[in-house]
Structure 1
Amino acid sequence: MMASERAEIESAAALWLERMRGPVQDSAVAARFDAWIAEDPRHVESYARMASLWQSEGLARAACATRAGNDNGGEHEDAEGGPRARAYRRWFGLVAGLASLAAAVPLAQGLFAPTHTYEAPWGTTREIALSDGSHIQLSGGSRLSVRLTPWSREAELEKGEAFFDVAHEALRGFAVEAEGARVEVLGTAFDIDVLAGGRREVRVYRGLVEVAGASGAWRLPAGTGLILDGAHVRSLEGIGGDRPGWLDGWFDAQDTRLDRLVERLNRTSRIPVVLDDPQLGELRVTGRFEMDSPQEIVETLAAIHDLSWSREEGRYRIGRP
């Protein structure tokens, strides 16, 4: 590759790096970036080098040198175009600094990082520590896939519930796909629950989250949440604490459908709970339930709604008297 061609690729990589540093990108911009990355393996390599350089000591020295040069020639710059021209020249100098340093930095490890899939069996929970410092808790019956690259952090919650405590990074956002909804952050703590029928619930415990679905996009600060159920969207308020109750073995039901509570209970209980009549799932429940005591919960639910229950064939059954 000729030097001029290498310089052109590295300049483009540096410009894309700056553009993609924002927490949420316009879909058209993201599509152009994906096309540029896929166009040539050298684009991937150059972008990875720029990413590793962004917060390096070498870049800091280059940026300081660029600022010093601009300060020494300030009067000349004022005459040539004012603040906008000065800002452009400062950025151009930074890009030049990145490009000049890129050749000296090895390609980031894990450039073509594989997708890792994690599962938590029914009746258990699982903790996952990612290489970027983020931590994820999976509830029972959940499956999650994660892929970390030098320029992105992507996950997909295929089923179940997961609590994400995302390490903050200025360069790479963290995005989670969940049944057609996309949650994007830089560094925060939030919970996603994928329920039967495609219902998705998002709750934010720290930071700011952007949720995008078929019917729109929403920005959720800490203490709020969102329920996406088909075309229906409902906001959640008053979410307290720094983590969801299920991590500590509790479930807070607020006018919750009985089948929702049973689904949640089955994620942690080693003895499954079934409803003899699906219509019983429409009954509503309010209360705080200790998920480590499934038989007590079954007894309580039967008492609240005047139902019968039994334990047979390795499961709890709830039905009509």
Structure 2
Amino acid sequence: MLLEKPMPGNKATRAQRKRNAEAADWILRNADLKQSAEDKDRFKQWLDQDPENHRAYRAAERLLGDARTAIESDPALLNINIKPHNSAKPLTAAVLLLACVGTAFLMLDGPMRIQADAIAETDEMPVLTLEDGSTVQLNASSAIAVNFDGKHRNIRLLRGQAFFQVAHAPERPFTVQAGTTRVTALGTAFDVRLGEADTEVTVTENSVLVESNDATTSSVRVTQGEQATYDQNSGQTAIQSVDALVALAWQRGQIAVENAPLSYVVEEMNRHFSGKIVVAGTALAQRRVSGTIAIADTNAALAFIKQVLAVKTTRIGPLVIIR
């Protein structure tokens, strides 16, 4: 089921992300047992600068609390017996605790949550309304950062895939940055997928201009019914005709592939899986798959792959190995 929710205006988005990063930095610095008096004074000054700094710091504390909860719920971490053999025992314990909290912070997607304005979890594909009336639907495990001002509408696709329906406002160009690829809307609806090795741009309405940060690469115009694929390794962009229903199958929790490498299919499955699916070996990762796969149902997708490729799967906790 799609989540439909408005996205507030974010003229101060850049400042908010900077504030969130500063709050996370202060959380770690304040955990240092040898923090200097000057550092403590600077922290107080930072808090007093803006009431929003208090809000950001409380939010960072809550996230850190989630990290501590993750540690406390893991018997392997909870039962660590720290026995330093020197006078640095408190410092050693603090360093180990910070290392554990840092690991949990990464597991809880902390760095991405600081950067992003919107994140989709593995079990959702939300539809968001931007301040200009444009809408964006995020694929599972996707994230965006939004930066609108009076002259520009800029979005960064930080991870995953998103479908954009752009409100008409030619005086404020609408661009999406996905890795090294920049997409400029020309009054349109389009889909952008930021993959591990390539970036795909599919146009379902009107046209877009696709450019690369590489100055030696020419921009290309992609029109309705076309898909541009930018290969990050070769720096080349290929354009092909595509069926919109096929390209946007992810909105229905599916992918429709024809002779696609297993690595691509697994990458899409991982968006909907709370653990990690890996392929054992490069040769197997390059095996080809065709068909319509219900990737939102991990068990069904794995069963399909096992049948089609005659492979086996092994589960080790949150890890699934295809071999």
Asked whether the two chains share a fold, i.e. TM above 0.5, the reply is yes
Amino acid at match of 1:222: Q
Q: For 1:147 and 1:297, how far apart are their aligned partners in 2?
A: 37
1:97-118 Cα deviation digits (max 9, x unpaired) = xxxxxxxxxxxxx795424622
- Give the match for residue 242 of structure 2: 238
Amino acid at match of 1:150: G
Report the aligned-residue RMSD.
Answer: 2.2
- Are the equivalent residues in 2 in contact too, given 1:205–1:241 (CA < 8 A)? no
Q: For 1:241 and 1:210, how far apart are their aligned partners in 2?
A: 22
- Structure 1 residues 236 and 281, CA gap change in structure 2 (3 angstroms): same
1:194-231 Cα deviation digits (max 9, x unpaired) = 1113x111100111111012321111111001110132
1:242 CA drift (Å): 9.8
- Structure 1 residues 190 and 182, CA gap change in structure 2 (3 angstroms): same
- Structure 1 residues 112 and 314, CA gap change in structure 2 (3 angstroms): closer
User: Aligned runs of 1:93-172 on 2, under 5 Å?
Assistant: 113-115=12-14, 117-172=117-172
**Aligned-pair identity (%):** 26
State the SS of the aligned residue for 1:303: helix
Stretches of 4+ moved more than 6 A in 1? none
State the SS of the aligned residue for 2:271: helix
- Are the equivalent residues in 1 in contact too, given 2:122–2:271 (CA < 8 A)? yes
Q: Extract unaligned runs of 5+ from structure 1.
A: 1-109
- Structure 1 residues 224 and 111, CA gap change in structure 2 (3 angstroms): closer
Q: Which moved more, 1:286-295 or 1:238-247?
A: 238-247
Q: Which moved more, 1:133-142 or 1:202-211?
A: 133-142
Q: For 1:273 and 1:206, how far apart are their aligned partners in 2?
A: 34
User: Aligned runs of 1:1-321 on 2, under 5 Å?
Assistant: 113-115=12-14, 117-197=117-197, 199-213=198-212, 214=214, 215-230=217-232, 231-241=235-245, 244-319=248-323
1:243 CA drift (Å): 7.2
Q: For 1:292 and 1:245, how far apart are their aligned partners in 2?
A: 11
Query: Normalising to structure 1: TM-score of the pair?
Result: 0.60
- Structure 1 residues 161 and 287, CA gap change in structure 2 (3 angstroms): same
1:124 CA drift (Å): 3.1
Q: Which moved more, 1:200-209 or 1:301-310?
A: 301-310
Query: Normalising to structure 2: TM-score of the pair?
Result: 0.60
Q: For 1:258 and 1:114, how far apart are their aligned partners in 2?
A: 38
- Structure 1 residues 242 and 272, CA gap change in structure 2 (3 angstroms): closer
Count of aligned positions? 209
Q: For 1:160 and 1:282, how far apart are their aligned partners in 2?
A: 21
- Structure 1 residues 242 and 250, CA gap change in structure 2 (3 angstroms): closer
Q: Extract unaligned runs of 5+ from structure 2.
A: 1-8, 15-115
State the SS of the aligned residue for 2:118: strand
Q: For 2:246 and 2:306, how far apart are their aligned partners in 1?
A: 32
- Give the match for residue 112 of structure 2: none
- Give the match for residue 9 of structure 1: none
